[in-house]
C-alpha cells in the first residue's frame, strides 16, 4: 500500500452521513443492486456463492448478499469504517447464522492476500476505490486476482469525462484547464492530486476506456457497462422539488443502462467475468 492512499478513519462518520445519508448515496446503492438483479442472475439463483467486498467501506451491498445466503468478506483500509459497518450490521441482524457467513478484514487491498492466503471468490466487488489510490491499475490487479476463473466482478470508478463535463456546464473553464493539464500529464506525480482533510471529492477520476483496457489485459470480459448518477448530477435542483427520489431513480435506471447516457454517469459500473 502506498502511504498516500486515502484512509477515511478520520472522517468515517462524516462519510457515512454525507454520502449514504444523501440522495446520491441512495441512487448509488439502488442502481448497483438493480444492475445485479438485471445482469447477474447467478447472485439470485439460490446457490451459495463466496463474495469479497474489497475496499467495501460500510459493506451495505455485501451484507445484503449475505442475507441472501452468500458467504461474504468485507475488507477495508479504514478500521473506523469497519467498526461502523459491524455495529450497523449487528443492529440490523435478524438471523444469527449470518455472523458465520460474514467476515471483516482490516487491510488495504494490496495486502489482502496476507489475510486471505490462497482465497478466491465467485463474486468480487470493488466500488469507488480506484479513484482514491496512487496506483489504480495495481490495485485493480490485486482485486482481480481474487476472482475465480469464470467468476464475476463488479467495479465502479469515478468518471473523468463526467467530471470535466459537469464543470464545463458550470462555467469552470479555468478549473478544467488546470485539472486537465495536471491529470493528463503522464509525468505528473499522482500523489500531488491526493486530497486530504474532509473532502469527499475523489482526486483520481478515470476514463472508462482506460479501465476497460486494464480489465482486458487482466483476462476479464465486461458483460455490461452502466452509468450511475447519469441524471441527478445534472439536474437543476430548483426544478426537482416536485419529484421524489423514486421518480429520479426510475429515470436513472432507464437511462443509466442506455447509450450514450451511460457514459455520462458520475460513476461508471463495470460488471464482468474473469475468463481464466
Residues contributing to the annotated binding site for S-adenosyl-L-methionine: 28, 55-56, 76, 127
Q: What is the 3-state secondary structure (H, E, C) of the chain?
A: CCCCCCCHHHHHHHHHHHHHCCHHHHHHHHHHHHHHHHHCHHHHCCCCCEEEECCCCCCHHHHHHHHCCCEEEEEECCHHHHHHHHHHHHHHCCCHHHHHHEEEEECCHHHHHHHCCCCCEEEEEEECCHHHCCCHHHHHHHHHHCEEEEEEEEEEEEEHHHHHHHHHHCCCHHHHHHHHHHHCCCCCCHHHHCCCCCCCCCCCCECHHHHHHHHHHCCEEEEEEEEECCCHHHCCHHHCCCCCHHHHHHHHHHHCCCCCHHHHCCEEEEEEEECC
Kind of pairing, strands 267-274 and 121-127? Answer: unpaired
- List all residues 6 or more positions away from 214 whose beta carbon is below 8 Å from its beta carbon: 137, 140
Q: Collapsing DSSP states into helix, strand and coil, what is residue 273?
A: strand
Binding site, annotated residues: 28, 55-56, 76, 127
Amino acid at each position: 500500500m502506498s502511504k498516500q492512499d486515502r484512509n477515511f478513519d478520520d472522517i468515517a462518520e462524516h462519510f457515512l452521513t454525507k454520502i449514504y445519508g444523501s440522495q446520491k448515496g441512495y441512487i448509488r446503492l439502488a442502481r448497483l443492486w438493480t444492475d445485479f438483479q438485471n445482469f447477474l442472475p447467478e447472485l439470485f439463483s439460490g446457490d451459495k456463492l463466496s463474495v469479497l467486498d474489497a475496499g467495501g467501506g460500510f459493506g451495505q451491498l455485501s451484507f445484503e448478499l449475505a442475507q441472501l445466503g452468500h458467504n461474504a468478506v468485507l475488507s477495508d483500509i479504514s478500521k473506523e469504517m469497519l467498526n461502523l459497518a459491524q455495529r450497523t450490521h449487528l443492529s440490523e441482524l435478524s438471523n444469527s447464522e449470518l455472523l458465520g457467513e460474514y467476515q471483516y478484514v482490516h487491510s488495504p487491498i494490496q495486502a489482502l492476500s496476507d489475510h486471505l492466503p490462497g482465497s478466491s471468490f465467485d463474486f468480487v466487488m470493488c466500488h469507488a476505490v480506484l479513484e482514491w489510490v496512487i496506483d489504480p491499475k495495481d490495485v485493480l490487479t490485486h482485486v482481480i486476482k481474487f476472482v475465480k476463473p469464470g467468476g464475476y466482478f463488479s467495479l465502479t470508478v469515478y468518471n473523468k469525462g463526467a467530471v470535466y463535463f459537469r464543470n464545463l456546464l458550470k462555467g469552470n473553464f479555468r478549473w478544467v484547464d488546470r485539472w486537465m493539464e495536471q491529470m493528463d500529464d503522464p509525468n505528473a506525480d499522482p500523489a500531488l492530486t491526493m486530497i486530504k482533510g474532509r473532502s469527499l471529492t475523489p482526486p483520481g477520476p478515470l476514463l472508462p476506456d482506460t479501465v476497460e483496457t486494464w480489465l482486458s489485459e487482466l483476462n476479464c470480459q465486461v458483460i455490461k457497462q452502466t452509468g450511475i448518477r447519469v441524471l441527478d448530477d445534472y439536474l437543476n435542483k430548483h426544478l426537482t422539488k416536485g419529484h421524489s427520489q423514486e421518480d429520479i431513480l426510475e429515470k436513472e435506471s432507464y437511462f443509466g443502462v442506455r447509450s450514450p447516457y451511460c457514459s455520462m454517469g458520475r460513476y461508471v459500473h463495470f460488471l464482468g467475468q474473469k475468463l481464466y
